[in-house]
Structure 1
Amino acid sequence: MMPAELLKSMFDAAVKAALPSICVPAHLPPRPKGRTVIIGAGKASGAMAKALEDAWDGPLEGLVVTRYGYRVPTERLEVVEAAHPVPNAAGLAAARRILELMQGLTKDDLVLCLISGGGSSLLALPAEGLSLEDKQAVNKALLKSGATISEMNTVRKHLSAIKGGRLAAAASPARMVALMISDVPGDDPSIIASGPTVPDPSTNQDALGIIAKYNIDVPESVLARLRTGDETPKPGHKMFANVENIMIATPQASLEAAAVVARKAGFKPVILGDSIEGESRDVALVHAGIARQCAMRGQPEVPPCVLISGGETTITLKGKGKGGRNTEFLLALAIALDGMPRIYALAGDTDGVDGSEDNAGALIYPDTLPRAAKAGLNAKAMLADNDPYSFFKGIGDLLETGPTLTNVNDFRAILIEGNTR
């Protein structure tokens, strides 16, 4: 198998391990005495609703919201679409309807909540005193700031009427079971989709600290809310006594699935971590150093081997180009490796969209930089302009999968061939 084919097969295995059709049926609770109400939000929620519908043997009702283009056909459950990563009016309307579905429930009822990455933007119900425009301004500023996903969601949950455990509070006294597909480093359930069903250990003061740390320009109404607004429900609160949060798919499980593919192809897999964070180009420098050490010193593994990692890097936008964190990582990696022979790499978002473009990620080869130069592309200049999408599009090396209908964060693999290959 050619290196690029193997890398793509590994990516496919990582995605398959997190498909809702596989993960959801194995974690469904027993039928309740009363109603079964389904709610949810995230890039995978449409596919999760379909998987639940196919596996559930009793009556169902409810609504989930997913990203535009991620809807799948369902018969008994309503699936609506809204904007991501910046919320819009459709997400606001969906969040309001989901909260209304929690009214009038009894202790005999069951609420099944389908949560996956992207839910923070899709459940766009501003807290009292805030507008949708306020939420949009904050989201745009956070995405450009370089803040981690944990920091971004800490701010978001304190500006929401539904996130940070508030959805669980609204469902009481019904039993709530949340099925979660993790897209965050460390699989912290309070961070996934900003934790609508999970007690929130963070505070308004924490959110203000993050805004100050990154010097984020936010509306005055946002600052006023964080200074004077009520707190999210905290761990130990009795409202969570009837709530169960279950992790059904994780980045680590997907990395392990990819490792199996590599091993079968004769490459020793080395999983560097499932929760790697930091600036994309800085993470690329570290990965390049490890790849060089493998190729030249046989440490931490002798080639043929594959370095595998997951997590979510960040980009502090300074240029005007197009791209996402995975293509930014790869462009920086290609520059750092500088055409070193026998090294190939793939990086992609497991949801199928890297940033806001139409690709999941891209691939690099030993001859990536010479081919780019021949095409008139200046790698260093395009990295400085945050324009990795145009770079990889220009040499035909984008990874294009379309929506995968799941999301377990980013997948990175660096393949190092042996000397005899």
Structure 2
Amino acid sequence: MQMREYREALHRIMRSAIAASDPVKGVLTHLPEAPVGRTVVVGAGKAAAVMAAAIDGHWSGSLGGVVITRYGHGAACERIKVIEAGHPIPDQAGERGAREILQAVSGLTSDDLVVALISGGGSALLSLPRAGITLQEKQAITSHLLKSGAGIAEINTVRKHISGVKGGRLARAAAPASIVTLLVSDIPGDDAAAIASGPTLPDRTTQSDALEILERYGIDIPESVRNYLVEAPLDTIKPDDTPPSSRYAVVASAKLALAAAARAARDEGFTPLVLGDWIEGEAREVGAVHAGIALSCAENGEPIEFPCAIISGGETSVTVRGDGRGGRNAEFLAGLALGLRGHPGVAALAVDSDGIDGSEDNAGAVVLPDTLERAASLGIDLRRSLANNDCYTAFSALGDLVVTGPTRTNVNDIRIVLVFRRS
């Protein structure tokens, strides 16, 4: 294969993984029976609109409701209102949408059904703060957490406890109606209660947990938030509080995406080595670790002989210290490229399955054996780019960004490293 062919193989494997993450088939497979009373669809996340459209097109009875998705991720619905709002920083559109969702589920009876469509991104999109906490305070805390290097589970723990709707509070508002929650998982291990901070599912965390996370990462805590976390009684739904009329199903996940990537890699002639969907940590450091595994495969045939494809998912984090542009997949790839040191037998691609790496317009990028050489010829130092959190600019100059546009799903990151020769 020539370099162009390895690039194309990486793209084909990526497209197979994203196609396997399409939530529509899973939603239709798990559609509940129509109730005696009303059916109300609510939801939030990057896949919420396309999930709602699937139900809207197949539900034969009366139907209504509201879902919130990210700007540019909408889908046409006739009976379900779709609101677009800010992500990853919450905005007023998300706050208004959350209030509309609460209104949509108010006054229901035990004869009614709520179908909750929850996917990654819903934590930011469903942005109603707790009483006494302002949207501006929530925006500031979210922004600082995203730059701090905190993991997604830690960020969502904080979000639950400063929210008026997450941590099971939406389920409480919908009682006594039956609730079916359909989930697209972007959480390592598919912890249902952590996806979009679990608006309809029980919460095992506490306000003390949220306060400890904020203090550990040195986040400036407004007095109103601190007072609430210290003094307010526990008010998220706990496992013992979950009504028997509530159930959930994961309809799309990273496991399915990685399995599809493995099949596609095998079809391309590479033996897959799937590391799983629990991969977390600082993005550049995870990239260096993947480089080490790839070099071991290339030079020692361990843990697997080449030609092979090292495949992983999960969500890394980025500690922002510079003022450049870039997301966690770009930083992963920069760390990988530096760790590979121009090895002639490794190529890689890493993307966020939703099509947006961080807050940029790319899904991710590609690394080829000549990446460092081409970068040097353009005066680009990837170490300096990492130091300034400016890897988007570097890969853009190299012509190696991967741009998919919104995919309307979100099962987190997909990383593919092809190993095809020794040095």
Which residue of structure 1 aligns with residue 225 of structure 2? 222
Q: What does 1:17-416 align with in structure 2 at a 5 Å threshold?
A: 17-416=20-419
The normalised TM-score by structure 1 is: 0.98
> How far apart are 1:419 and its partner, in Å?
5.7
Q: Deviations over 1:366-403 (max 9, x none)?
A: 00011111112111111111100000001100000000
Q: Secondary structure at the match of 2:239?
A: coil
Consecutive unaligned residues in structure 1, runs of 5 or more: none
CA contact (8 A) 2:346 2:421 kept: no
Separation in structure 1 between the aligned mates of residue 81 and residue 64 of structure 2, nearest angstrom: 8
Separation in structure 1 between the aligned mates of residue 37 and residue 278 of structure 2, nearest angstrom: 40
The normalised TM-score by structure 2 is: 0.97
> How far apart are 1:241 and its partner, in Å?
2.1
**Counterpart amino acid of residue 281 in structure 2:** G
Separation in structure 2 between the aligned mates of residue 84 and residue 230 of structure 1, nearest angstrom: 29
Separation in structure 2 between the aligned mates of residue 35 and residue 315 of structure 1, nearest angstrom: 44
> How far apart are 1:233 and its partner, in Å?
3.3
> How far apart are 1:286 and its partner, in Å?
1.0
> How far apart are 1:234 and its partner, in Å?
4.2
**Counterpart amino acid of residue 304 in structure 2:** E
CA contact (8 A) 1:158 1:231 kept: no
Q: Secondary structure at the match of 1:190?
A: helix
CA contact (8 A) 1:352 1:400 kept: yes
> How far apart are 1:275 and its partner, in Å?
1.2
RMSD, matched Cα: 1.2
Q: Deviations over 1:12-40 (max 9, x none)?
A: 11111111222210111111111000000
Moved more, 346-355 or 48-57: 48-57
**Counterpart amino acid of residue 180 in structure 1:** L
Q: Identity, % of aligned pairs?
A: 52
Q: Secondary structure at the match of 2:193?
A: coil
CA contact (8 A) 1:199 1:240 kept: no
Consecutive unaligned residues in structure 2, runs of 5 or more: none
Separation in structure 2 between the aligned mates of residue 8 and residue 229 of structure 1, nearest angstrom: 50
Q: Secondary structure at the match of 1:270?
A: strand
CA contact (8 A) 1:307 1:414 kept: yes
> How far apart are 1:325 and its partner, in Å?
0.3
Moved more, 54-63 or 153-162: 54-63
> How far apart are 1:86 and its partner, in Å?
0.4
Moved more, 212-221 or 80-89: 212-221
Q: Secondary structure at the match of 1:113?
A: strand
CA contact (8 A) 2:344 2:422 kept: no
CA contact (8 A) 2:74 2:84 kept: yes
Q: Deviations over 1:51-109 (max 9, x none)?
A: 11122222210110000000011111110100000000000000001011111101110
Separation in structure 2 between the aligned mates of residue 385 and residue 9 of structure 1, nearest angstrom: 32
CA contact (8 A) 1:95 1:123 kept: yes
CA contact (8 A) 1:66 1:79 kept: yes
**Counterpart amino acid of residue 264 in structure 2:** V
> How far apart are 1:232 and its partner, in Å?
3.3
CA contact (8 A) 2:362 2:405 kept: yes
**Counterpart amino acid of residue 405 in structure 1:** R
Q: Deviations over 1:395-415 (max 9, x none)?
A: 100000000000000000100
> How far apart are 1:285 and its partner, in Å?
1.3
> How far apart are 1:162 and its partner, in Å?
0.3
Separation in structure 1 between the aligned mates of residue 173 and residue 145 of structure 2, nearest angstrom: 28
**Counterpart amino acid of residue 128 in structure 1:** A
Moved more, 9-18 or 160-169: 9-18
Separation in structure 1 between the aligned mates of residue 260 and residue 233 of structure 2, nearest angstrom: 43
Q: Secondary structure at the match of 2:115?
A: strand
CA contact (8 A) 2:161 2:236 kept: no
Separation in structure 2 between the aligned mates of residue 232 and residue 404 of structure 1, nearest angstrom: 35
